[in-house]
Amino acid sequence: MAIENFSYVVETKKSFKDALIAVRKQAESRKWGVLGDYDFSEILSSKGFPQAEQAKSLDLCSPSHANQVMAAEKLAALCMPCSVLVFTDQGKTKIAAVKPGVMLPLLFPHAKGKLGALPQEIDAQLKDILDAVAGS
Amino acid sequence: MNAPEFAYAVECNKTARQTIAALWSASLKAGWIVLGDYDMGGLIPEEEAKRGVEVKSIDMCKPVHAKPFIQQDPMTALCMPCNVLVRMADGKTTIAALKPGVMLPKLFPEAVGALGKLPFDIDAEMKAIIDQAVAAPTKAA
């Protein structure tokens, strides 16, 4: 059975590089940390698979949220940090993120009570970051 | 940690640090690359930190596997790289990983459907890497 609506995607008029910079700025202004990044186009190209498009993920984390989620379900760390993907698609720059508010209750239904509305709150904050990048 | 349907979890007779080193070594031997690792110790509840619980994760990738997914749908990169979690608590170390063969067809049914059994091959390779790390002799720190 397919999992519907598990991600949020926005399109921006920014260049790929400017979108990456904007994600960092918007995340940090909301007290989310950027733990690292992976440039998939570079990684694949370096191994002999040149890419026509660009794709880079930024690993974002809000420690206070992560602490509560890990307290509710140890395996939830498998879904951390939150990954925000910036990629190009036929001349357009897009930004995407998985919605923890969809995935966490689905993967860890027994932790729903402990998590309360937190996963949806994390969704809202990630959406806010992506919308700000698209709109700024 | 009991493994749900979508994850693989095994116990390991090593410290968290030794386990990360063993996973790193097993990945490279299997032709995977290790992109990095995270110490998640700062994110665990205070009570667990006081008990000496350690949580680390290691990000690994096999570009030849990643390429067809990204070609089918760039959004599949949201699930990359493959993340393996190591948790040491109360003298026990557990290794856990999501199973791409279970998760990806549910998230990207159309794109992944075109890739045949590749997601399940990745599951098998990751399981072999984890099992190899568990079985590897412990190196002195």
> Which CATH number is A113's domain given?
3.30.310.70
Distance CA B35, CA B53 (A): 24
The secondary structure of A96-123 as a DSSP string is EEE-HHHHHHHH-GGGHHHHTTHHHHHH
Give residue-wise pLDDT tens across range B28-37: 999 999 999 9
Q: How far is CA B55 from CA A49, A76, A78, A87, B112, in A?
A: 33, 12, 11, 30, 31
The yes or no reply on domain B7-135 and CATH 3.30.310.70 is yes
Give residue-wise pLDDT tens across range B33-82: 999 999 999 899 889 999 999 999 999 999 999 999 999 999 999 999 99
Residue A2 lies in a domain: no
Mean pLDDT of chain B, nearest integer: 93
Question: Is the complex ipTM more than 0.85?
Answer: yes
Distance CA B41, CA A67 (A): 10
Place of tokens 């897009």: A94
Considering only CB atoms, A40 lies closest to which of B77, B98, B107, namely B77
Residue A4: what pLDDT? 72
Residue A1 lies in a domain: no
pLDDT surpasses 70 at B2: no
Q: How many helices (H) and strands (E) does chain A have?
A: 6, 5
Residue A17 lies in a domain: yes
Number of domains in chain A: 1
Instruction: Find the mean pLDDT for residues B124-131.
Output: 98
- Using pLDDT thresholds of 50, 70 and 90, give the confidence band for residue B141: low
> Would you call B39 helix, strand, or coil by DSSP?
strand
Considering only CB atoms, B67 lies closest to which of A49, A63, A98, namely A49
Are B58 and B86 in contact by the 8 Å Cβ rule? The answer is yes
Place of tokens 């791409």: B100
Q: What is the pTM of this model?
A: 0.93
Q: What single DSSP character describes residue A14?
A: S
Give residue-wise pLDDT tens across range A20-51: 999 999 999 999 999 999 999 999 999 999 99
Sort out which chain B residues have CB atoms less than 8 A from A53's CB and list them.
74
Q: State the best of A74, A93, A102, A130 to mutate against chain B, taking most chain B CBs within 10 Å.
A: A74
Q: Residue A23 belongs to what domain range?
A: 7-135
Q: Do B77 and A89 touch (CB under 8 A)?
A: no
Residue B139: what pLDDT? 67
Q: What single DSSP character describes residue A79?
A: G
Six token digits for residue B61: 């990738």
Residue A93 lies in a domain: yes
Considering only CB atoms, A36 lies closest to which of B36, B78, B83, namely B36
Q: Does B90 touch chain A (CB under 8 A)?
A: no
Give the A:B interface size as CB pairs under 8 Å. Answer: 103
Sort out which chain A residues have CB atoms less than 8 A from B66's CB and list them.
40, 43-44
Six token digits for residue B40: 């998640």
